[in-house]
Chains A and B, each alone.
Chain A
Amino acid sequence: MDMFFSVLDATLRVSTPLVLAALAGLFSERSGIVDLALEGKMLAAAFASACVAYLAHSPWAGLGAGIAAGVLVALLHGGVSISYNGNQLISAVAINMMVSGVTPVLALAWFQQGGRTPTLDDSERFTALPMPFADAIEQSSALKLIFGHNILVYIAVAVIFVVSWVMYKSRFGLRLRAVGENPHAADAAGISVKSVRYIAQAISGALCGVAGTYLALAQTGAFIQDMTAGKGYLALAALIFGKWRPWAAVSGCLLFAFTDAIQIRLQGVELPLIGSIPDAFIQAIPYVLTVVLLAGLMGRAVAPKAIGIPFVKSR
């Protein structure tokens, strides 16, 4: 039973940045901009948050810096994609490479610790919140699953609810979806396609900012080179898996996180008949699962119709 809860606990921890990044991608892609840049946005945020948290001795300052960095990178992607009608894939790939290269160089120049930032004190990190009724919780693994996480986990949960409300019940959501499906119709209805897309990018950057901050300040306690390790791509896969719908994308993230949690526990376990499976194979499980799910099981995912196409006024 404890094993079961500890797997779920790990699922929550691993899925938090994925969920935030997937929802970030949701805004971007629903507005019609392909968001392969999730990876770069998160990595930039992780770096900025770690630097600022270390220098200002405050995780909240770090969070602010992370969000600012995420938004900045997102607006760069937005500028290329929205104002200059550039190729969105190339913009994103360039951004990812640039961030991946620049961050360790800056870290080396500023902190001389081999391309990482100094390890943060607990006071500079987001750590598990103190638990109410600590005694009762000590007894119950189930309650431990609900309480005892850091604040960003709860923020992520709240974000899911807010995002799905915004997407389907708000004016902005309607306009966002219209712009991603048929920008010409939105334009004819008097909506500024550009500003909706820029706002979507900014939101995407902010959410990636929280995700990157989580990686640096909550999970690791420092910035490490390429610490996002493909989580942006995984989040994008979850988004597609969820057919660009918030709750379905979140379930995709949970599924990936769950297999990841299991994967860690399977490493080195002796299976009957087969014996020990090399770790490399087991580590590949979440990724193989991604491919299999996307390729076959999910049926046809219908993307927002205008995705990837620069909007040029028809008249």
Chain B
Amino acid sequence: MAELAIELIGVNKHFGEVHANKDISFGIRKGSIHGIIGENGAGKSTLMSILYGYYQADSGAIKINGKEQRIRSSQDAIAKGIGMVHQHFMLVDPFTVLENIVLGAEEGISLESSLAAARRHLAELNRDYGLQVDPDAVVGELGVGSQQRVEILKALYRGADVLILDEPTAVLTPQEADDLFRILRLLKQQGKTVILITHKLREVLDITDTVTVMRAGEIVGQVNTAEVNKEDLADLMVGRKVNLQLDKTPAKPGKLVLEVNGLNLTDERGVALLKDINFSLRAGEIVGIAGVSGNGQSELLEVLSGMREASSGSVRFNGTELTTLKSRDPKAAAYRQLGIGHVPEDRSREGLVKDFSTFENAILGHHHDKSIRRGWLFNRKAIVERCRRFITEFDVRPALTHRRIGLFSGGNQQKVILAREIHANPELMLIGQPTRGVDIGAIEFIHKRLMQLRDEGKALLLVSVELDEIMALSDRIIVMNAGAISGELPAAEATATSLGLLMGGHK
């Protein structure tokens, strides 16, 4: 039995009624890459927060290198050789790389000697791990991939032997992710221990040596990565058989529904957000838009849904020019009446009013429907009735019409939005990040429902940062980079590599 870098023994943590971690016990071998997977709310973040000193366990023990330790704060964790790369980077944007790295680890009153020492140490680390980060670059001006490397450097600079990475690839292109994995393998070779928290099964299989699977606060599986496949892990995570493979029949594209020509969008500061976008969409097909987030996909959805006005260009929906559409109502409402449904990217900001109940959210944007009104007033009974139908049809849990929507899980919130938009029977459905923060069980449901919509002859425009999702659902894939379309290809021909290159702007 190899030496253990970290060993957890019977760790428990409660938050009020919620038992977030139940009797967690497992060990992580020194010099290995260990994956922790589980759905949202499975307790993996809580567990790592205990290990990093943000929380104290209610009971149980933590051994580091075989010695029992108490970790009372993140400073404590750092001192004991544990480093963390947060999902949302903990960097000060206007500072240089060097300043970010010494922050909190400086010695003496004056900075000068600390900075000089850090510069020397950084050069060594850069060389040893092939990180290639310029110490004098301003962090805010670096790309996400480099910022992440700064985070890794920060942890190494503080002498971390165990590195925890929380969903590290969420913001990376496939190429950047490969680069990260190369670094992680190098770290492993040098004897560091890496803990990778993720929900992406492919990554777990790619890079880890061992995996711990968590569900509802408990460990439900501990396996050697080499002995399992994707389906095994998914079943463990969800606790039942999951069908990851979509039964996709060939698309039968019908009439032209959406035609976008020379679309441009420039913001108040004169920054071009969309540059000469041209594409078309037919009934009965799903076109996926791939890209690293922040490359214009959000803006494109905003323009097509009427939330934002294009600077120039034309958008024709069933032959009607949308950009010059005259309407008494706000544009988004007018588009909706024409038959454009919209599932916004940011659920909690644009899709729902979190403090409203389920039934109120079930009619947002559709409150002019005659069937739910009684003269000037709402027909509350009809609204609740409609909501109840949504809940049944989309299997929303818990099935409560009067509960605040903010209290539902992400997957169930998304189902309510989807039900609401589908109910209006739109010809064109705009869908942004349909499964962001949604658990696997709900993903399966949502994907099936979207395929069904396509087969009913609707036109679907799908924006997602999850490449797997784009590839699984789409019939054609458009890739965006820096506000422009960098390529378009049939889904059958697309691979992660070919899409990744286009996402990075290589044609």
Contacts and interface: CB of A to CB of B under 8 A. Distances in A.
B109 A171 contact: yes
Contact of A171 (B55, B95, B114): B114
Given A178-B92, A178-B95, A315 B103 contact: no
A182 B92 contact: yes
Nearest to A172: B109
Nearest to A184: B90
A226 interface: no
Nearest to B45: A315
B74 A188 contact: yes
Nearest to B101: A189
Contacts of B110: 169-171
Nearest to A190: B75
A109 interface: no
Contacts of B90: 182, 184-185, 187-189
A173 B94 CA distance: 14
Interface string B150-167: 000010000000000000
B92 A191 contact: no
Interface of A is mostly: helix
Interface in B214-271: none
Contacts of A182: 90-93
B104 A189 contact: yes
A171 B99 contact: no
Interface string B67-92: 00000011100100000101011111
Residue from B55, B90, B102, B109 having most chain A Cβ neighbours under 10 A: B90
B139 to A, nearest CB: 10
B112 interface: yes
A180 to B, nearest CB: 9
A181 B92 contact: yes
Contacts of A184: 88, 90
B104 A191 contact: yes
B111 interface: yes
Interface residues of B, number: 32
In this complex, the member of A170, A187, A190, A315 whose beta carbon has the largest number of chain B beta carbons within 10 angstroms is A190
Interface in A262-289: none
A149 to B, nearest CB: 30
A178 B99 CA distance: 10
A185 B109 contact: no
B103 A178 contact: yes
A188 B114 contact: no
A182 to B, nearest CB: 5
B106 interface: yes
Interface centre among A178, A189, A305 (most CB of B within 10 A): A189
A186 B88 CA distance: 13
B186 interface: no
Contacts of B99: 174
A175 interface: yes
A185 B112 contact: no
A41 interface: no
Contacts of A305: 93
Contact of A315 (B54, B95, B107, B111): B54
Contact of B55 (A178, A181, A315): A315
A296 to B, nearest CB: 16
B41 to A, nearest CB: 15
Contacts of B108: 171
**Best-buried of A182, A187, A188 by chain B (most CB within 10 Å):** A188
Interface of A: 169-175, 177-178, 181-182, 184-191, 305, 313, 315
Given A184-B88, A187-B90, 9 more contacts: A169-B112, A170-B111, A182-B91, A182-B92, A185-B89, A185-B90, A188-B74, A189-B105, A191-B104
